[in-house]
Amino acid sequence: MTNIFKSAQEMSSALVAKEVSAVDLANEHFDRIEKVDGDVHAFLHLDKEGALAQARDVDAKRAAGEKLSPLAGVPLALKDVLTQKGIPTTCGSKMLENWRPPYDSTVVTRLKAAGVVILGKTNMDEFAMGSSTENSAYGPTHNPWDLSRIPGGSGGGSSAALAAFEAPLAIGTDTGGSIRQPAAVTGTVGVKPTYGAVSRYGLVAFSSSLDQAGPCARTVLDTALLHEVIAGHDPKDSSSINAPVPSVVAAAKKLDVKGMKIGVIKELGGDGFQKGVSERFNEALEELVKAGAEIVEVSCPNFEYALAAYYLIAPSEASSNLARFDSMRYGLRVGDDGSHGAEEVMSLTRQAGFGKEVKRRIILGTYALSSGYYDAYYGSAQKVRTLIMRDYEAAFAKADVLVSPTAPTTAFKIGEKADDPVAMYLNDIATIPVNMAGIGGMSLPCGLASEDNLPVGFQIMTPAMKDDLMYQVGGTLEAALNSKWGSPLMSQAPALGAK
C-alpha cells in the first residue's frame, strides 16, 4: 500500500508508528517521480544519494528513540532557487547550469536539522521571473491536472510536484505571487509568510525587497508544519524578523472563525476575473459565513497601480541582483578564447546565459534606475508602495483578514501567453499587492471552475507578523470545503503515468 497520496502529517504519523521507514517513503516517492515526471517535468535534479542518506539517518535516530521533529523523514521538493551545498542550483537558467554552491541556504540548514528528506530541486521560471514556468531554460513543467497547461510560476515545479504526488511538501519563493499562483492553478496550498519571517540567506535574489520563501503542500496543516520548520530569526539576513514565530500549527488546527471579520477587496475581483473563478470564490465565502465569520467589503483604491509599480521595482532590483552573473567567479563563461577581454566576455556570457524574459527585465530595470528616469519610474513606484501599504492598513482596520481569488484565471495553455508579456503580467494582479506591503498571503483550493474543470485558488491575506490568522482561516475553510465535497479536491486530480 503506497503512502504517496497521504498528507505530510499522515506520513509523519506512519513514520512515528513505524508503519513505514523514511527510506521506504523516500523510495516510494522516487518511484513515483520515475513514473510520472517524464510527463510533468517538475524536477530539474534528483539527489537520491543525499535523500536516502538523510532518510537512513532519521530511521536510525528513530530506532534509537531520539526525539525527532514532526517532519523528520518526510520527503520534500526544493525550488531550484535555494542553495544546497554540493547540489546543482540552476535557478532555471543556463547561466548556472553546472553550479554547485559551496554552502547551504538557511532554509536548507533548517530542513536538514529537522530531518526533512530533500528529494531534489524543482523547475522554475528562470531566476523566478514568470508566471508559467515556461521561462525555464530546461523546458516547461506541465500541470498535472492537464498536461497541456502551465502549472503556474515561477514555482511551477514545486506546485506540480505536489499535485503529481511526487512529494508531499515543497519549498517555493514568492516575489509577486510565485508560491500562491502556482498553488492556485494546481489545486494545492501555498503560503507566502510575512516578509522577513523566513530567512532569505541562500535564496538567489530576484527582487530583494519582495522575495520571500514559504511552505507549499497539499493541506493547510502541512504548510503550517513546514512553516514552523523554516521560519524564525536568522542573523545572516538583516531583514529577518527577530521575534517568535507565530504558532501556525495550532492556528491551522483551530477550525474556528466565529466572529471574525473577513474583508473582500473590491478591486481584486469582477472584471478580468474568469467567471468560474468568481463563482468558486463566492461559494467559499459562503462557507466562511456558515462557519460564523462576517463578510465586509473593503476598497483598496491604489491597487490599480500595484502591477505597474511591481513591474518597475522588481526589474530594478533584479537588474542589480543579476549583475553578479558575469562569468568571472562561477557559472557560464562564453567567449574566453583569448580574443576577448573580460568586459566582452561578460557581455557575451550574459547574452548567451540569460533567457528572453530575464534580459527584458534587466533592461527594463536598468532603464528605471538610470539617471534621469529614476524619479519618474523607480521613485514613483516606491511611492505607490506606500499607498498600497496605506490601503492595507485601512482595510485591516475594518477586517481581521482580507480575501480575494488568488489568480484571475485557471491554468492557461502552455504557449498561450508566451509572446505577450503584458498579458502574462496580469496573472499576478491579485498576488502582487501582498509582496509590495510585505504582509502574509495564502492560497488554498476552493474548487474547480465550471468552464474548464481546473482548480481555483482562494487567497487569504493577513497583517504583517500575524501569519497565524491565515492558517486559522485557511484551515477552517479547507475543512468546510472538504466536508462539502466529501474528500479533498486533490482526490479529483487525474491519474498520471498511465501509459
Residues in 103-142 at the binding interface with other proteins, rule: CB under 8 A = 103, 105
Known catalytic residue at 79: yes
What are the cell numbers at 447?
A: 474548487
- Scanning residues 403 to 422, which ones bind other proteins (CB under 8 A)? 421-422
Q: What residues contact residue 264 under an 8 Å CB cut-off, 6+ apart?
A: 285, 295, 296, 297, 298, 402, 403, 404
**Given CA atoms 489, 460, 285, 301 in this order, what sign does their dihedral have?**
negative
Residue entry with cell 517568535: 244
d(CA 354, CA 425): 19
- Using CB under 8 A as the binding rule, whether residue 398 contacts other proteins is answered as no
- Using CB under 8 A as the binding rule, whether residue 381 contacts other proteins is answered as yes
Can you tell me whether residue 36 is helix, strand or coil? helix
Q: Which of 363, 398, 451, 453 binds other proteins (CB under 8 A)?
A: 363
Piece of the chain touching other proteins by CB under 8 A; list 110-118, 373-381, 407-415, 488-496 = 373-381
Q: Would you give the DSSP letter of residue 198?
A: B
Q: Which of 389, 452, 485, 492 binds other proteins (CB under 8 A)?
A: 389
- Scanning residues 229 to 288, which ones bind other proteins (CB under 8 A)? 235-239, 241
Q: According to DSSP H, which parts of 370-466 are helical?
A: 380-398, 421-425, 432-437
d(CA 136, CA 123): 7
Counting residues that bind other proteins (by CB under 8 A) gives 96
Piece of the chain touching other proteins by CB under 8 A; list 21-29, 274-282, 320-328, 467-475 = 320-328
d(CA 359, CA 126): 11
Closest to other proteins by CB, 102 vs 259, is 102
Closest to other proteins by CB, 375 vs 451, is 375
Q: What residues contact residue 33 under an 8 Å CB cut-off, 6+ apart?
A: 42, 43, 46, 119, 120, 166
Mark 292-311 with x for binding to other proteins (rule: CB under 8 A) and - for no binding. ----------x--x-xxx-x
- Scanning residues 38 to 97, which ones bind other proteins (CB under 8 A)? 82-83, 89, 91, 96
Q: Which of 324, 398, 413, 484 binds other proteins (CB under 8 A)?
A: 324
d(CA 155, CA 150): 11
d(CA 435, CA 86): 31
Closest to other proteins by CB, 30 vs 311, is 311
Q: What residues contact residue 365 under an 8 Å CB cut-off, 6+ apart?
A: 312, 314, 315, 316, 317, 318, 319, 320
Closest to other proteins by CB, 311 vs 458, is 311
- Using CB under 8 A as the binding rule, whether residue 379 contacts other proteins is answered as yes
Q: Which residues pair with 365 in a beta bridge?
A: none
CB of 465 to other proteins, least distance (A): 10
- Using CB under 8 A as the binding rule, whether residue 387 contacts other proteins is answered as yes
- Scanning residues 182 to 201, which ones bind other proteins (CB under 8 A)? 195-196, 200-201
Q: Which of 43, 354, 458, 471 binds other proteins (CB under 8 A)?
A: 354
468 to 86, 170, 464: CA distances (angstroms): 35, 19, 10
Question: Which active-site residues does the annotation give?
Answer: 79, 154, 178
